[in-house]
Amino acid sequence: MSDISRRTGSCLCGGVRLVVTGQPTRVGLCHCKDCRKASGSAYAAFAIWPRDAFETSGEVASYGTRSFCPTCGSRVAWVGDDEVEVMLGSLDVAPTDLEPQYELWIGRRETWLHALPGTEQFEHDRTYDGPTPEGAAPPSPRPLSDAVAHD
């Protein structure tokens, strides 16, 4: 395995550290109200890994599935049953080599932001996995179980 298969991250004060192994399942941007409120920023940029690819050390506090550092308040990860969502800004290397593949809740995108070229655009949460093959009928929308519900 190359070094790129293992990425480290931390909260601002360094009290909480995390490691993710292997490539993320997917990388996205979200403009939903939950992401805006939880981050204090206008949108969130995150990557999703399988739950068992994620390790954390140090004391964390949590609000639902969202964990954060009790000392500096930085978000650490949103941990679901099968997946974990890590903010790109939590990773140690900046910039990362990760590029978003999709955007969620685009109706709440700030007007001065524009759709990121080449990414899938979703009105709300993701409803099906991956783009529709050319010529194929669109799949019927079905909710996917993401690590966290967005709103």
Report the interface residues with Zn ion, using CB under 5 A: 11, 13, 15, 30, 32, 35, 69, 71-72, 150
By C-alpha distance, which of 90, 93, 36 is closest to 60? 90
The residue among 12 and 21 lying less far from Zn ion, judged by its C-beta, is 12
Q: Residue 95: is the preceding peptide bond cis (ω within 30°)?
A: yes
The residue among 5 and 127 lying less far from Zn ion, judged by its C-beta, is 127
The residue among 20 and 35 lying less far from Zn ion, judged by its C-beta, is 35
The residue among 49 and 68 lying less far from Zn ion, judged by its C-beta, is 68
- CB of 111 vs Zn ion, minimal distance in Å: 18
- CB of 108 vs Zn ion, minimal distance in Å: 9
- CB of 134 vs Zn ion, minimal distance in Å: 29
- CB of 83 vs Zn ion, minimal distance in Å: 14
Output the 3-class SS for the chain: CCHHHEEEEECCCCCCEEEEECCCCEEEEECCHHHHHHHCCCCEEEEEEEHHHEEEECCCEEECCEEECCCCCCEEEEECCCEEEEEHHHECCCCCCCCCCEEECHHHCCCCCCCCCCCEECCCCCCCCCCCCCCCCCCCCCCCCCCCCCC
- CB of 30 vs Zn ion, minimal distance in Å: 3
The residue among 35 and 88 lying less far from Zn ion, judged by its C-beta, is 35
